[in-house]
A and B are shown apart, each in its own frame.
Chain A
Amino acid sequence: NAGVTQTPKFQVLKTGQSMTLQCAQDMNHNSMYWYRQDPGMGLRLIYYSASEGTTDKGEVPNGYNVSRLNKREFSLRLESAAPSQTSVYFCASSEAQVFNQPQHFGDGTRLSIL
């Protein structure tokens, strides 16, 4: 049982490049989340998906897009990367009845934008 799997684990991009962070969970959870973690800022919610087929903006959605491909997968896309998006990104999931309480986190993606 892998839990929440994120790829890639590390990535370096140049300003203006695009990329997609992948996330998959095998726990049959309905809710999935994307967070970013920056020093001194705490975890901040970028986007979330309460169920398959729905996505909603979180606290810091600007510059990002998401796709809930199916119940298992929730991807985060940076269309035109900016240095301010340098961060550690975490995907998380939770059971339907505990929405907005991320229970399981992936290992994170450490993203640097030059």
Chain B
Amino acid sequence: QKEVEQNSGPLSVPEGAIASLNCTYSDRGSQSFFWYRQYSGKSPELIMSIYSNGDKEDGRFTAQLNKASQYVSLLIRDSQPSDSATYLCAVNGPGTASKLTFGTGTRLQVTL
């Protein structure tokens, strides 16, 4: 079992719709969770972090964390073609020197 799992996609959503990206992780002791956006041929960009159960909103982005079920989600409201990218989930274990593990990413396509 991979430590951090994401559906590779592509996930196709129409412009204006809500895109829902999901990530599951295996280490129940994980404490920090991150979403990075990576455009094709570009470097990753940190867009969201979440540390406690529940929702965290930042503009059109909402991160959702459920530690009991070991999943973290990213919702993108009013999806735009410019949101088309690969979204990487990353999970950090407990402790200040813990390893950050990345998923392989979900490719999102927002269609006109």
Size bracket, chain B contacts: 20 to 34
Cβ distance A43 to chain B, nearest Cβ, rounded Å: 4
In the complex, number of A-B residue pairs with CB atoms less than 8 Å apart: 47
**B100–A105 CB distance below 8 A:** no
**Are A107 and B104 touching (Cβ within 8 A)?**
no
Q: Is B45 an interface residue (CB 8 A)?
A: yes
User: Is A100 in contact with B100, judged by CB distance below 8 angstroms?
Assistant: yes
A: contact size bracket: 10 to 19
Question: Complex formed: what's the CA distance from A12 to B43 in Å?
Answer: 20
Q: A100 with B99: in contact, given A42-B88, A90-B43, A105-B43 (CB under 8 Å)?
A: yes
Q: Which residues of B contact A59 (CB under 8 A)?
A: 99
Given contacts A40-B104, A42-B88, whether A105 and B44 have CB atoms under 8 Å apart is yes
Q: Is B112 an interface residue (CB 8 A)?
A: no
